[in-house]
């Protein structure tokens, strides 16, 4: 999988951990733990990338400088 930055944070509003991939617009997931949010966002990332490629849209290059904060 590409090395996109993943930011995981607690959402008081949603009462769960949210994992966001800033380089892939709209690519987010959530879970009851850091681990669950990370697993869910990895699936969301793959779906985002597969969908973009199947639609002929460009896929951004991963910056890779920061891989994950948790």
pLDDT digits (tens, 9 = 90+) for 14-45: 999 999 999 999 999 999 999 999 999 999 99
Whether 12 maps to a domain, the answer reads yes
45 domain-assigned: yes
Q: Cα–Cα–Cα angle for 22, 17, 58, nearest 5°? A: 20
> How many domains are contained in the chain?
1
Q: Is 25 among the domain residues?
A: yes
- Position 10 confidence tier, pLDDT thresholds 50, 70, 90: very high
- Does residue 21 form part of some domain? yes
Q: What is the pLDDT of residue 70?
A: 53
In a domain, 11, yes or no: yes
Position 69 pLDDT exceeds 70: no
Residue-range definition of the domain harbouring residue 15 = 6-55
Is residue 60 assigned to a domain? no
Q: What is the pTM of this model?
A: 0.83
| Per-residue pLDDT at 7 exceeds 70 | yes
Question: Do residues 7 and 70 touch, judged by C-beta distance below 8 A?
Answer: no
Measure the CA–CA gap between 3 and 25, rounded to whole angstroms: 15
Say if 19 falls within a structural domain. yes
């Amino acid at each position: 999988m590409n090395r996109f930055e993943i930011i995981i944070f607690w959402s008081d509003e949603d009462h769960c951990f949210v994992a966001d991939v800033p380089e892939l617009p709209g690519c987010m997931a959530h879970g009851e733990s850091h681990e669950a949010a990370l697993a869910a966002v990895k699936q969301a990332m793959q779906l985002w990338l597969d969908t973009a490629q199947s639609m002929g849209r460009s896929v951004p290059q991963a910056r890779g400088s920061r891989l994950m904060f948790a």
